[in-house]
Amino acid sequence: MDKGFLVLETGEVFEGILIGDKQAIEGELVFNTGMTGYQEMMTDPSYKGQILTFCYPIIGNYGINDIDDESKEIAVSAVIASDICDEPSHYQLTRSFSKQLEQAGIPGLFEIDTRQLVMIIREHGSLRAKIVTDEWETKNITWQTRSLLSLVNSVSVKQSETYGTGDTHIAIMDYGYKKSIRNALLQQGCKVTVVSYQTPLHHIKELNPDGIVLSNGPGDPMELQAYFPVIKQITQDYPTLGICLGHQLIALAYGAMTKKMHFGHRGGNHPVKDLFTGKVWITSQNHGYVVEEDTIDYMQFDVLFKNVNDRSLEGLKHCHYPVTTVQFHPEAHPGPSDTNYIFEDFLNEVREKKGALTHAKA
């Protein structure tokens, strides 16, 4: 087995065993606390440009299947794990974890002390890191500067894609959407059209959707500032649901501000309180930026959800338009499905407005 080295911008070096592709790679080092769902995590486009550390001590024990990918390819730049299971057991598996990395050309390291690594990230915040194959390279690291907008460009569809034949037509503005979002809408009887985040407003109107979903995605939401006017107009013309990055973009389009979190929320057990009902839901999350609550215009929005652990803002409801935003992932995958009702509530608003428009025309 070949040795590899993880070098942090703070100077620490971790030695481990290389798996997957044996190439040097650089990215933002983050961690996810989930006990399961490594396949969904690796294929979640929100991880584009990041080196993902798995907190759970053994990864790969149920292998990789042909069902649970969240996008068409692995999104992470690399993975870090404590231990890898190369003899998985599951009736749906088609290949092992390490074979998946090898086939996708993605490097990884295992036999890393992930507990110590996570402690460093928690202390310093998300860090730049690099995987190298030779020990001498650990002494001569140069760090690249990368446009975060290029991350969204690399994961968004280039041409529109349509799925389903339902009577309710939903357009997904794709900043790096998860397949599970599309599937959640299809399961509710929708026709779904996925369009690039760069799609002009008049092209969206030509599609004649009944509602819009602004998807999750990677990078800094402020990199998409040029699209804020279109996003704001969309929310005024159509019932809209913003998920994760989409939540942040809607808030920014209405004048709020975002900030980078110390090490983000990534896992499947984040408690979120609904301020309207008082109920607490357990949610799946994957984000490194957050909307600053004191920048919200309360003439425009009510705060809908808050994180129980750190009190960060987790969702908004527009006071006048049928617009809802959530920082978490109601479709889960991986994670609990407590908040799947978010899609039902959104589609009720969509169908209510569609019915009102139909009645008015009649």
Binding-site residue positions for L-glutamine: 46, 217, 219, 245, 248, 286, 288-289
Q: How far apart are CA 38 and CA 79, in angstroms?
A: 10
Which residue in 40, 70, 314, 331 is the catalytic one? 331
Which residue in 247, 287, 329, 333 is the catalytic one? 329
Which residue in 244, 247, 265, 318 is the catalytic one? 244
Helix (H) or strand (E) holding 215, with range, is none
Biggest distance spanned by C-alpha atoms of the chain:
75
Through-space distance between the first and last CA atoms of the chain, rounded to whole angstroms? 72
Query: What does each C-alpha distance from 22 to 2, 96, 124 come to in angstroms?
Result: 9, 17, 28
Q: How far apart are CA 130 and CA 255, in angstroms?
A: 36
Q: Is 329 an annotated catalytic residue?
A: yes
- Residue 71 in tokens: 């996008």
- Pairing assessment for the beta strands 190-196 and 50-54 based on DSSP bridges: unpaired
- Bridge partners (DSSP) listed for residue 282: 271
Q: Is 331 an annotated catalytic residue?
A: yes
Binding site listing: 46, 217, 219, 245, 248, 286, 288-289
Handedness of CA 112, 97, 182, 275 (dihedral sign): negative
Q: Alpha-carbon Rg of the chain, whole angstroms?
A: 21
Q: Taking the mean position of all CA atoms in its chain, how far away is CA 99? A: 24
Within 8 A by CB and 6+ apart from 335, the residues are 34, 37, 267, 268, 269, 282, 283, 284, 329
Catalytic residue IDs: 244, 329, 331
